[in-house]
Structure 1
Amino acid sequence: MLKRDQIITLLGALLLLAPAVHAQQVLRKPVVKQAVVAVLADAEVAASAAFGEYCQMLETKEGLGVYAVGAAWKNPEQVRELVRSIRKDYPGLEGLVLIGRIPVPMIRNGQHMTTAFKMDELKYHRNQSSVASDRFYDDLALQFRYIGQDSAQPDWFYYELLESGPQVIRSELYTGRIMSHATGQQRVEEISAFLRKAVAAREQAQPLDQFMAFTGGAYNSESLTSWYQEQLVLQEIMPALFKTNMGYRPLHFSMDPKMKYRLFSELQRPGLDLALLTEHGDIELQYINNSPAGNDATFALQLLRYQARTALRRAVAKGQSPEAAKEALLKKMELPAAWFDGALDNDSLRKADSLVNAETNIVTADLATVSPVARMVIFNACYNGSFHHPENISAAYLFGKGQTLVTHGNTTNVLQDKWTIEHLGLLYRGARAGQWSRLNNTLESSLNGDPTWRFQAAGSGTLNKLLAGPGTVADWEKQLLQNDPVMQSLALRKLFELKGKAISPVLRKYYEETEYRHTRMEALKLLARIGDTQYVAVAGAALFDPYELIRRKSAEWIAKAGHHRFAPLLINALLAHPEDARLSWTAGRALDLLDWDNTLQVLDSLQSTVSWRYDGPQWISQLKEQVQDAQLSARQTLAVILDPNAKEEARIQRIRLLRNMTYHALVPELLPLLADAQAPEAVRINLAEALGWFVLSYQKPAITAACQQVIKQPGTTELLKQEATQTITRLNHWSLP
């Protein structure tokens, strides 16, 4: 007998497919079958000469078999079923090129597969709280429930991740979007110009021999330790770039108060191949510099007035009335009311203020006068990869006057502490952009442009063949023996995919013995995903690794695990590396989540060991106060959650805090509420969902058992069963950003 979600899914699929089955036109089938790419376009683009030229180039220059289809695509399910069919007929299918108006899947109920996105799906409209994601097309194991089509954006289709299916991304294909938001014939011409650019780029070999990396203001706590140590790892994975004066160029926002214009020059510098742009971002915006700085009182006063006006305009733009917004800001900022004068009704002042922003940020319109030469641009930023929005900044790089062929970004916000350069050395060795992107896929990540692009390198063909298939254990054990951090890290990842937990001793060995930072980071990340005794054995030592990112991520994952034995090591890491701004934040937050009484005892015992610090007693006192505040906050949160007289909305709001603040010690007191059949269903459902974020917690077995009991409990509603089922799967199969 079919379950409710299966019936809904089946009916939805039938309704979606019914009007579209006759709309597809197969334009080309693969001659080469070992490595196949499906090129899917809307009918207008598929009819263009440039489309045929691009397909021909993929065959003759890239050695790929091409399955080309043009259609008036009606919905994502139609595309997905075609991809399944192609893959069945051509097992060598490795990727998809989605050109033009290919329907956009908007995914819900899958925020645990993002790195940071946690918007309330009930509180906010679905066009804001859903994630535009091509994982719908490149991870065919994921299962979805159709919700509906957007009324204002007809290319957007909403789906919920099925609770009973996989809860982690394992993309077997790569995808790349070539999507223009122009209208009419201009749209076809814009895409055609891009396709011809992609064809022309293959006329001469282009190795990756010039790379520029930029870090913007307010990112990663502006940690200079984080910034400079990344250069050391880049030198490990792309050593040849560091042997010439032009090979690698690291840029930091602090180098120029108007770094925006310096970046424009660098992006146009002849010979640039790859640009990595780490900054805060938005759909149409790259934040480059912080607000202007000055040394005198007059400047400081002007800046405060400017910030007050900006805050008022931002609040009104979000829907607040001018009066309410001004009153709230006056209370919050404690500034004179006169400082808000002219913010909303003085056009000259508004223009002057906008010029301040224009000097510090890059917007989409700016790129009309810039011609980036980098073939690939990586946006390590929020929202910069939002291909589904008109005026998205990624499209400005692809369809502008420059030479950019592929960009990588995100369609929502993204974690600052993400390991951005994971497997990046593969690009230097000639891996296709799509293959590199596939290894790093999250729900929000997006590859836009030509995913088949690769830089020329010796052995590129062999590497891409390796990447296209799962390979064998013997294949990857052979690669693991190379004295190369790029191939070692890739081999560890592939062996993890093939062997699962059985690879744990090998991961520990490589973490403890290799000299390469990149390999150690990969080993630690995979060990943390396993979360066994081998991981626990190295997690503490990782807090003192020479590589700052390993120290930082180890603190983050210890916070997720919750073992109180790590409290002394976290405190010692804070003592050892006060220069690590981001580690200080992460390790401090970890102490907030461990057993508070134990941590306070540890701090008392360390009083004598910090005498070398001139402020030792004060430092210990401040940490104790922080931990006590965290304990009080946690207890207050628990009290509201458990209070049957509290408003349901307030209880749910506190439950949602557990998604970020995994208070491990509270779990035994929360589980009876989950089991309480008399408690409001919405409270129990939200609690079941929140407990799904305890993926590394030592409380995971207890949470799993409690969810299993809820599922078996007589009278449990279908919605609660689905949430409990999803949490069990999430806790047993998870990934880490």
Structure 2
Amino acid sequence: MNKRNKLFITFISLMVCVSMSAQTIIKPSTKTPTSFAIFIDRTSYEKAKDAVDAYRQSVETDGLGTYLAIDNFQSPEVIRELIVKFHTNKQQPLEGCVFIGDIPIPMIRDAQYLTSAFKMNQKADWKRSSVASDRFYDDLSLKFDFIKQDTDIPLYFYYSLRPDSKTYLFPDIYSGRIKPNEIEGKDKYQLLSDYLIKVVEEKRDTNNVLDHFSMARGHGYNSEDKLAWSGEQIVLREQMPQLFRPGNTVKFFDHSDMFPMKNIFLNEVQDPELDVMLFHHHGADDTQYINGFPESSFVTENIESIKRYLRSKLPARSKKVGKEQAIKEYMDYLEVPKTWCEEAFDPDKLMQDSLLNESLDIHTYDIRELHPGAKFILFDACYNGSFYEKDYLAGAYIFATGHTVATIGNTVNALQDKWPDEFIGLLAAGMRIGQFNRFTGYLESHLIGDPTFHFKNNVNSRFDINRALTMYGRDAAYWRKQLSNELPDVQAMALRQLLYAGEKNLPELYRNTYQHSDYFVVRMEAVKLLALNYPEQAVSTLKQSLNDSYELIRRLSGEYVERIGNPELIPALVKTYLNRGQEKRLTFRLNDATFSFDSTLLEEELNRQLQGRNLYSDTLVVKFRKLIDNDKKHIISDREELTKLGQKLSVYRNGIYSYRNHPTPLMIDDLLDIASDQNRPIEVRTYAVHTLGWYNISYRRKDIIQALSNIKTEDKDLRAELVRTICRLQGK
């Protein structure tokens, strides 16, 4: 071969490599009012090409012209730029997208206030202290600064939410992840192909209506409050009345119905007629926690529970202090016989415990043996949606054989006291699952599977919810008309959309709606929007909503009372405690709310309300007085600790950061003093400024803004935190 031929072949080879590595964009093949986009890495596309193409065709057949973007994407910014380009195309604007295969994963930092509960020290391992979140892609108004790419896991890209970014979530589009679980002995590309073909087949069922629904509760969820559980069941009748008609089914399962309930749950989720399964429980990335050990009134069973406890603790303790010392410690601690402790070293007993523990919870390896029938599964739990892990629970369901095509789960821990059923009735009206997550999600909430999937509208054929959300998203006139829609969830959505449409006089609308609506979900939406966006005007409504007949309204009103902290709410708080102090989860919220108010004022109001009141028992009164006293001591102790100079930074950090969870107005001046004290370490001042950002609906937020605005500093970290906190308090 001569030199010229060698050069020519080298040139052709280089051109082929460039072509293979270049980004490939295939535009929609059909003209539709809005569009959808598939982002997939090149290897996944080549391995599952026929299935991907079939999936794209099924989406277009369903009325969404679909882009196909194929590339070995080198950063999230490349994808975000394409999303912005597609979304701003006025001829066919993007309404949603899906990320298939190995697509860059944004790991978000400095945005924990956008999660429902996650508050980890960011000095910890970045993989654990960052939040894997596709809000980077679908909420285009958020601003980020790139930090670095992970060296161990190149798909991880770390970003900081900029101090001057928007401080609330309202995604412009919906999104989903289809990332196969990586399991030894399984071809992940075959899993992907099989899943996409499953979606195509499910979409061929044009009569797929939502008429079979099940809900399951694991141990420890919402304090196992029966009122919270029954209230959710009652309101479901309001949101989806068709479920309760002859021929349709709605089922409710509780962890205490049988022991263990794992088997019953797994039987139910495989029902081929099941449309939606809603799981309430605690969770991990690979586990659904269903049962604790059963309670018993029998002496022998309680003795066995104590022995089981000893077997779970003693082996680990013995490794630190020795077997005999460990046995002595627990004998003294629990006043139990030595023979009970010695069972902790019996291999047969330990094996029995291991088998029992295995029967309590649902694991990813259990799911791989299933054929889930539910088309959509919602996991109201921590970590079940951790798609950044190789093996994650939500993915195990969609990549199992069966009918499950979409799930929603969280990438980090999640709050229990939220509203997981918000807008769930719109699924029966044909709303795409992606839109459901778009309007209810937090930074950690993710749809795993096909976000375009939807059920056939079988509740109001005259109303197209998907068209309403995409074509009239911020049309105030349109949503004003929907305030009288026959579907309560549409009315609730109208209240939400009017906020983002810039409607005037919304506080008055929300107050009037709460006063006059017969629908629980509409009242809940009105209270939520009023408290979170107009806290000053919410006080008069919260005085009533603390005693609403819907448990969730009472419970979340308790949270808003705590966070607003206006002393005008003290009489309503005390009255609610006296009248409803036996309600487990409401009392949990009221206990926190009490911490927001001056102990003297609480005692005075309690004494006033007790005058002339006939009590058979003073149990609740004694409990309330003890709570008030403990809160007072807590504040005094914290002030003493935080005013001491020269302590370790961790002492200040832990003490100050505790007020992110409990933003009591009683500590505002103390935190402001720390923030402005130039004799304090910059780190400590930054902790205080950061924590004050959690006072974003406090009745004293204007005072905080003014005080922080007067702080001048040359330190870039403190300056950035000041900007971030002031933006949060201003609601930007």
Give the TM-score, by structure 2 length: 0.92
Single out whichever of 586-595 and 643-652 deviates more from structure 2. Answer: 643-652
CA deviations 1:144-193 (Å, max 9, x no partner) are 12222223322112111111211211101111100013379811111010
Contact 2:535 2:564 in 1 (8 A): no
CA deviations 1:639-664 (Å, max 9, x no partner) are 21122233332122100111112121
Amino acid at match of 2:505: A
Alpha-carbon distance in structure 1 between the residues aligned to 2:719 and 2:310 = 49
How far residue 695 of structure 1 moved from its aligned partner, in angstroms, is 1.6
Q: How does 1:221-236 map to 2 (within 5 A)?
A: 221-236=223-238
2:722 to 718, 724, 730: 724
Which residue number in structure 2 is paired with residue 14 of structure 1?
Answer: none
Bigger Rg, which one = 2
Contact 1:564 1:599 in 2 (8 A): no
Alpha-carbon distance in structure 2 between the residues aligned to 1:452 and 1:481 = 28
Single out whichever of 524-533 and 405-414 deviates more from structure 2. Answer: 524-533
How far residue 28 of structure 1 moved from its aligned partner, in angstroms, is 4.0
Alpha-carbon distance in structure 2 between the residues aligned to 1:718 and 1:275 = 48
Which residue number in structure 1 is paired with residue 8 of structure 2?
Answer: none
Which residue number in structure 2 is paired with residue 389 of structure 1?
Answer: 389
CA deviations 1:97-151 (Å, max 9, x no partner) are 11111111111111100011111112x2111111111101101111112222223
Q: How does 1:552-563 map to 2 (within 5 A)?
A: 552-563=555-566
Alpha-carbon distance in structure 1 between the residues aligned to 2:329 and 2:233 = 42
Are 1:550 and 2:556 an aligned pair? no
Which residue number in structure 2 is paired with residue 353 of structure 1?
Answer: 353
How far residue 665 of structure 1 moved from its aligned partner, in angstroms, is 1.6
Which residue number in structure 2 is paired with residue 7 of structure 1?
Answer: none
Are 1:40 and 2:30 an aligned pair? no
Which residue number in structure 2 is paired with residue 409 of structure 1?
Answer: 409
Amino acid at match of 1:725: V
Structure 1 253/83 Cα, relative in aligned 2: closer, same or farther at 3 Å?
A: same
Structure 1 601/176 Cα, relative in aligned 2: closer, same or farther at 3 Å?
A: same
Q: Secondary structure at the match of 1:622?
A: helix
How far residue 23 of structure 1 moved from its aligned partner, in angstroms, is 3.4
Are 1:274 and 2:273 an aligned pair? no
Which residue number in structure 1 is paired with residue 4 of structure 2?
Answer: none
Are 1:203 and 2:204 an aligned pair? yes
Structure 1 704/338 Cα, relative in aligned 2: closer, same or farther at 3 Å?
A: farther
How far residue 484 of structure 1 moved from its aligned partner, in angstroms, is 2.4
How far residue 531 of structure 1 moved from its aligned partner, in angstroms, is 2.7
Alpha-carbon distance in structure 1 between the residues aligned to 2:634 and 2:481 = 52
Are 1:259 and 2:239 an aligned pair? no
Single out whichever of 145-154 and 389-398 deviates more from structure 2. Answer: 145-154
Which residue number in structure 2 is paired with residue 650 of structure 1?
Answer: 651
Alpha-carbon distance in structure 1 between the residues aligned to 2:724 and 2:637 = 28
Q: How does 1:70-109 map to 2 (within 5 A)?
A: 70-89=70-89, 92-109=93-110
Amino acid at match of 2:24: Q
Q: How does 1:288-367 map to 2 (within 5 A)?
A: 288-311=290-313, 330=330, 334=334, 347-367=347-367
Which residue number in structure 2 is paired with residue 420 of structure 1?
Answer: 420
Q: CA RMSD in A?
A: 2.5
Which residue number in structure 1 is paired with residue 191 of structure 2?
Answer: 190
Which residue number in structure 1 is paired with residue 52 of structure 2?
Answer: 51
Alpha-carbon distance in structure 2 between the residues aligned to 1:179 and 1:461 = 34
Contact 2:278 2:377 in 1 (8 A): yes
Q: Secondary structure at the match of 1:701?
A: helix
Single out whichever of 576-585 and 484-493 deviates more from structure 2. Answer: 576-585
Q: Secondary structure at the match of 2:661?
A: coil
Which residue number in structure 2 is paired with residue 4 of structure 1?
Answer: none
Alpha-carbon distance in structure 1 between the residues aligned to 2:665 and 2:405 = 46
Alpha-carbon distance in structure 2 between the residues aligned to 1:185 and 1:221 = 39
1:580 to 569, 580, 583: 583
Structure 1 332/416 Cα, relative in aligned 2: closer, same or farther at 3 Å?
A: farther
Structure 1 531/622 Cα, relative in aligned 2: closer, same or farther at 3 Å?
A: same
CA deviations 1:679-704 (Å, max 9, x no partner) are 11000001000111112212211111
CA deviations 1:392-441 (Å, max 9, x no partner) are 11111101122100001111111111111001111010000001110012
How far residue 298 of structure 1 moved from its aligned partner, in angstroms, is 2.8
Amino acid at match of 2:431: A
Alpha-carbon distance in structure 2 between the residues aligned to 1:329 and 1:156 = 45
Which residue number in structure 2 is paired with residue 150 of structure 1?
Answer: 150
Q: Secondary structure at the match of 1:655?
A: helix
Are 1:285 and 2:287 an aligned pair? yes
Structure 1 329/65 Cα, relative in aligned 2: closer, same or farther at 3 Å?
A: farther
1:525 to 523, 528, 547: 528
Contact 1:42 1:100 in 2 (8 A): yes
Q: Secondary structure at the match of 1:658?
A: helix
Q: Secondary structure at the match of 2:464?
A: helix
Contact 1:30 1:36 in 2 (8 A): no
Contact 2:283 2:383 in 1 (8 A): yes
How far residue 308 of structure 1 moved from its aligned partner, in angstroms, is 3.4
Contact 1:144 1:161 in 2 (8 A): yes
Q: Secondary structure at the match of 1:480?
A: helix
Structure 1 145/649 Cα, relative in aligned 2: closer, same or farther at 3 Å?
A: same
Q: How does 1:536-547 map to 2 (within 5 A)?
A: 536-547=539-550
Alpha-carbon distance in structure 2 between the residues aligned to 1:314 and 1:95 = 50
Amino acid at match of 1:718: K
Which residue number in structure 2 is paired with residue 473 of structure 1?
Answer: 476
How far residue 226 of structure 1 moved from its aligned partner, in angstroms, is 0.8
Contact 2:41 2:71 in 1 (8 A): yes
Structure 1 162/295 Cα, relative in aligned 2: closer, same or farther at 3 Å?
A: same
Alpha-carbon distance in structure 1 between the residues aligned to 2:522 and 2:444 = 25
Q: How does 1:24-35 map to 2 (within 5 A)?
A: 24-35=23-34
Structure 1 333/372 Cα, relative in aligned 2: closer, same or farther at 3 Å?
A: farther
CA deviations 1:330-366 (Å, max 9, x no partner) are 59964668766575x7654433222121222111111
Q: Secondary structure at the match of 2:167?
A: coil
Amino acid at match of 1:71: D
Which residue number in structure 2 is paired with residue 495 of structure 1?
Answer: 498
Alpha-carbon distance in structure 2 between the residues aligned to 1:574 and 1:635 = 24
CA deviations 1:65-88 (Å, max 9, x no partner) are 110011112222222122222223
Amino acid at match of 2:720: Q
Alpha-carbon distance in structure 2 between the residues aligned to 1:464 and 1:718 = 45
Alpha-carbon distance in structure 1 between the residues aligned to 2:328 and 2:38 = 53
Which residue number in structure 2 is paired with residue 178 of structure 1?
Answer: 178
Which residue number in structure 1 is paired with residue 568 of structure 2?
Answer: 565
Alpha-carbon distance in structure 2 between the residues aligned to 1:143 and 1:412 = 21
Which residue number in structure 1 is paired with residue 6 of structure 2?
Answer: none
Give the TM-score, by structure 1 length: 0.91
Structure 1 299/495 Cα, relative in aligned 2: closer, same or farther at 3 Å?
A: same
Alpha-carbon distance in structure 2 between the residues aligned to 1:523 and 1:461 = 22
Which residue number in structure 2 is paired with residue 592 of structure 1?
Answer: 595
Amino acid at match of 1:716: E
Q: Secondary structure at the match of 1:89?
A: coil
Amino acid at match of 2:560: W
How far residue 292 of structure 1 moved from its aligned partner, in angstroms, is 2.4
Q: Secondary structure at the match of 2:154?
A: coil
Which residue number in structure 1 is paired with residue 629 of structure 2?
Answer: 628
Alpha-carbon distance in structure 2 between the residues aligned to 1:21 and 1:339 = 67
How far residue 610 of structure 1 moved from its aligned partner, in angstroms, is 4.2
Which residue number in structure 2 is paired with residue 5 of structure 1?
Answer: none
Structure 1 69/112 Cα, relative in aligned 2: closer, same or farther at 3 Å?
A: same
Unaligned runs of 5+ in 1: 1-18
Unaligned runs of 5+ in 2: 1-17
Contact 2:311 2:341 in 1 (8 A): yes
Single out whichever of 270-279 and 641-650 deviates more from structure 2. Answer: 641-650
Amino acid at match of 1:178: I
Structure 1 199/245 Cα, relative in aligned 2: closer, same or farther at 3 Å?
A: closer
Alpha-carbon distance in structure 2 between the residues aligned to 1:723 and 1:347 = 55
How far residue 321 of structure 1 moved from its aligned partner, in angstroms, is 5.5
Q: Secondary structure at the match of 2:501?
A: helix
Which residue number in structure 1 is paired with residue 640 of structure 2?
Answer: 639
Which residue number in structure 2 is paired with residue 507 of structure 1?
Answer: 510
